[in-house]
Amino acid sequence: MKFLDLLIERFRPELSVKQEIVEREKRADSSRKKWILNHVYLSKGDLKQLELETKEGFAYYASPDEKNARFRCKRVKVSIPAKGNSKEKAEEKLKLELHYRGCNAGVFYRLSQRDGSLYAEAVPAIISS
* Rg of the chain on CA atoms, in Å: 19
Q: Is CATH 3.30.1660 the right assignment for the domain spanning 43-129?
A: yes
User: What DSSP letter does each residue of 83-107 carry, written as one string?
Assistant: TT--HHHHHHHHHHHHHHTT-SEEE
Provide the 8-state DSSP code for 24.
H
Provide the 8-state DSSP code for 115.
T
Strands 76-81 and 117-128: antiparallel
CB-based contacts of 21: which residues, under 8 Å, 6+ apart?
none
pLDDT at 2 over 80: no
- Residue 119's Cβ-side half-sphere holds a number of Cα atoms within 13 Å equal to 11
Q: Is the pTM for the entire model greater than 0.75?
A: no
- Quick: pLDDT tens for 68-103: 555 556 788 999 888 887 888 999 999 989 988 888
When pLDDT is averaged across residues 12-17 and rounded to a whole number, the result is 70
Residue 105 bridge partners (DSSP): 41, 125
Are 62 and 102 spatial neighbours (Cβ–Cβ below 8 Å)? yes
C-alpha span between 91 and 105 (Å, rounded)? 12
When pLDDT is averaged across residues 11-22 and rounded to a whole number, the result is 73
pLDDT at 67 over 70: no
pLDDT at 115 over 80: yes
